[in-house]
Structure 1
Amino acid sequence: MITMVPVLLSLPLLLGTAAPPESPVGAHHTLTFLYTGVSRPSRGLPRFQALAFLNDQAFFHYDSESQQAQPLGPWSQLRGMEDWNKESQLQKAREEIFLVTLKDIMDYYQDSEGSHTFQGRFGCELWSNGSSGASWSYAYDGKDFIKFNKDIPAWIPLDAAALEMKKKWEAEKVYLQRAKAYLEEECPGLLRRYLNYSRTQLDRQDPPSVWVTSHVVPGRHRTLKCLAYDFYPRGISLRWNQAHKAQESESERVILPSGNGTYQAWVLLRIGPQDKAPHMCSVQHPALPQPLTAQWQER
């Protein structure tokens, strides 16, 4: 019989009471924690690691090798945002419970061969109109495992082993209330505190640079690519036009992080080999005072 304990909730809520995807109701901010535990770590992949995000920006990292919660990027220059020694202790305690839970699931399935992964994602969001939201879920080997419904409140099993976990986690009603309180009160409070230190970073606006290229398949077609890069925030519009008419793109718009705190995006357009007319890529972004246009024309 497995002896699972609620990951995170078996600990005191060491985060304490905090001091004072696109939202349909205006601007919003998010605080998200991503946990990953592996049964057989490899070089470059620690047994446990945690990443915390403000909006889409990673602001601290912890892993089982360093055992230190370390602020990332511009947050490493901030003072007073968090007690990082205390945060390291918290993440170390969570690591131990997280890996015990991974082992319990493996024992349930008798998964002794190969490497197995347990992942957790939890956090909250705040909208400009004062409303908030939150979520908490886990996955085993890439498949949904269990999630928390704070409105009931209850853990919703999505796997056979998760049913055993649900029984253990709900044996003490206090665990349900603490999970609900964390998502509805403590997490939003933390997010508000972090935002007080992070407005400059999160509210910045970096305009995109735009580059238009083409690739020819001999005798068949030409593919135009409109690339925008080094922009922030993430939201951007890319559209191909000809004679002021929007054209059907070959692919959906792709947006990816650049690795330096900004984003890159592109959209493709396929045209006939005899098409010599100019094609315009129109780019709209909050950091641009007006849409930016880049033209392709065969030279």
Structure 2
Amino acid sequence: MQYEGLLLLLPLLLMVRVSGVYSGHSLLYFQTMESTPGYELQEHIEVGYVDGVEITRYSSDVRRLVPVAPWMQKMEPEYWESETHRCRGNEAEMKYHGRIELTRLNKTGGYQYVQWMYGCELRDDGSTRVYYQFGLEGKDFFVLDSDRWILIPLTGQAHITTERLNGPDERLAERNKDYLEDKCFRWMRGYLKIGKEQLERRVPPEVKVSDQTVNGVTKLHCQVYGFYPRDVDVNWMKNGIDVPSYEAKHILPNSDGTYQIRVTAEVAAEDREGHSCHVDHASLDQTLTVKWESQSSSNTLWIVIAVLAGVLAIAAIGFIIWRISSGKKNYAQTSTSDNDGSTSTSNA
């Protein structure tokens, strides 16, 4: 079976972030299971991430957990056996709950998919956070309240579900409390230890600012690329005042393990002056600010450079011609002198 489609669905389940630049470490697992017309839930994939880097993958056709990050190959064979057993249990549980929900919501026909995300986060200030949430068709369905250890419905249709899962027969949140509060953090620290060289590196971003006008609408683009770790804060400002971003901010991976993001603001065509893009990232000692400059200003700069280059070229050519002319003149004078001297000597 092909799982490219399922992998694309994984980010659809929203991962809540605290505002500002993320600083710390996380261990998160994303699961997606899909059904196709005429079949029950059947295709399942689970992907593990440490600090946004994919480390492991499990799929229902292979039915084994395999390493993705090269440094995960350092783990002992016993690890892969026990974690494969855990993934198979997760697959069975997700299929069970997914079938119940899709049947109850009368969504058993056609293409459907169910998503589940769980894990933990340790921040540099010592604070922690745990995640456990469920989604249907790319929309959040319920989420964990880690203060009371119950599941909170996020849609009207989810109330019946959370009542069942919080009830004495299921107690789903409580059954996962030990893993989320303890084991998840212990596993995270172990992964960070063996993947330290890769995970703790810092690669500063490159920033490019440009503008675009289409159908009378002017947009300022701030392209930030080639940075690691993943989390970054990018904002447009005008004379020190925040400017709302016109498009959603999506951080995308690059093939070399770094990331990129483009943040766009819509402005009046005559109001572009004074705008600047501000970038905060763990690799930077201070906020990186790149000002927008009009294309005409840039063109003027290049024109000046071109003129100066032309003047220098003309001067260089003139110098070469002068040297050649001087050389010919000196050569002619030397030849005449030599010829005169030669005749005198002969006559003598």
What TM bracket, shorter-length normalisation? 0.7 to 0.9
State the match for 2:163 in structure 1: 163
List runs of 5+ in structure 1 lacking aligned partners: 1-20
Equivalent in 108, 111, 115 of residue 115 of structure 1: 111
Instruction: State whether residues 236 and 275 of structure 2, in contact with CA within 8 Å, keep that contact through their aligned partners in structure 1.
Output: no
Q: Which moved more, 1:285-294 or 1:110-119?
A: 285-294
Distance 2:264 2:19 in 1: 27
Q: How has the CA–CA distance of structure 1 residues 53 and 231 changed in structure 2, closer, same or farther, with 3 Å as cutoff?
A: same
Question: 2:169 corresponds to which letter in structure 1?
Answer: A
Paired residues for 1:50-199 under 5 Å:
50-76=46-72, 78-80=74-76, 83-156=79-152, 158-167=158-167, 170-171=168-169, 177-199=174-196
Distance 1:274 1:147 in 2: 45
Paired residues for 1:203-218 under 5 Å:
203-217=200-214
Query: Is the aligned partner of 1:296 residue 2:296?
Result: no
Distance 1:148 1:202 in 2: 28
- Superposed displacement of residue 152, structure 1: 3.2
Distance 1:63 1:96 in 2: 12
Cα-to-partner distance string for 1:145-195 (whole Å, 9 max, x where unaligned): 44444443444453324433443xx2277x665422222122122222222
Name the TM-score, length of structure 1 as normaliser: 0.72
Distance 2:225 2:181 in 1: 37
Q: How has the CA–CA distance of structure 1 residues 273 and 256 changed in structure 2, closer, same or farther, with 3 Å as cutoff?
A: same
State the match for 1:227 in structure 2: 223
- Superposed displacement of residue 208, structure 1: 1.5
Instruction: State whether residues 81 and 194 of structure 1, in contact with CA within 8 Å, keep that contact through their aligned partners in structure 2.
Output: no
Question: 2:91 corresponds to which letter in structure 1?
Answer: E
Question: 1:251 corresponds to which letter in structure 2?
Answer: S
Larger radius of gyration: 2
Q: How has the CA–CA distance of structure 1 residues 282 and 172 changed in structure 2, closer, same or farther, with 3 Å as cutoff?
A: closer
Distance 1:140 1:118 in 2: 5
Q: Which moved more, 1:110-119 or 1:54-63?
A: 110-119
Q: Which moved more, 1:125-134 or 1:263-272?
A: 263-272
Question: 2:116 corresponds to which letter in structure 1?
Answer: G
Q: How has the CA–CA distance of structure 1 residues 288 and 59 changed in structure 2, closer, same or farther, with 3 Å as cutoff?
A: same
- Superposed displacement of residue 229, structure 1: 0.8
Distance 1:275 1:148 in 2: 45
- Superposed displacement of residue 107, structure 1: 3.2
Query: Is the aligned partner of 1:251 residue 2:249?
Result: no
Instruction: State whether residues 35 and 42 of structure 2, in contact with CA within 8 Å, keep that contact through their aligned partners in structure 1.
Output: no
Question: 1:258 corresponds to which letter in structure 2?
Answer: P
Q: How has the CA–CA distance of structure 1 residues 74 and 293 changed in structure 2, closer, same or farther, with 3 Å as cutoff?
A: farther
Percent of aligned pairs sharing the same letter:
26
Distance 2:126 2:275 in 1: 44
State the match for 1:10 in structure 2: none
Question: 1:256 corresponds to which letter in structure 2?
Answer: I
4+ residue runs over 6 A deviation: 23-26, 274-279
State the match for 1:4 in structure 2: none
Q: How has the CA–CA distance of structure 1 residues 182 and 285 changed in structure 2, closer, same or farther, with 3 Å as cutoff?
A: closer
Equivalent in 246, 249, 259 of residue 263 of structure 1: 259
List runs of 5+ in structure 2 lacking aligned partners: 1-16, 300-348
Structure with more relative contact order (C-alpha pairs < 8 Å, separation 6 or more): 1
Distance 1:276 1:129 in 2: 39
Higher helix share: 2
Paired residues for 1:7-18 under 5 Å:
none
- Superposed displacement of residue 92, structure 1: 2.0
Distance 1:192 1:33 in 2: 15
Instruction: State whether residues 23 and 282 of structure 2, in contact with CA within 8 Å, keep that contact through their aligned partners in structure 1.
Output: no
Distance 1:73 1:270 in 2: 39
Distance 1:163 1:53 in 2: 30
Distance 1:188 1:273 in 2: 50
User: Which secondary structure does the structure 2 equivalent of 1:254 belong to?
Assistant: coil
Question: 2:159 corresponds to which letter in structure 1?
Answer: D
Instruction: State whether residues 25 and 128 of structure 1, in contact with CA within 8 Å, keep that contact through their aligned partners in structure 2.
Output: no
User: What is the CA RMSD across the aligned residues, in angstroms?
Assistant: 3.7
User: Which secondary structure does the structure 2 equivalent of 1:296 belong to?
Assistant: coil
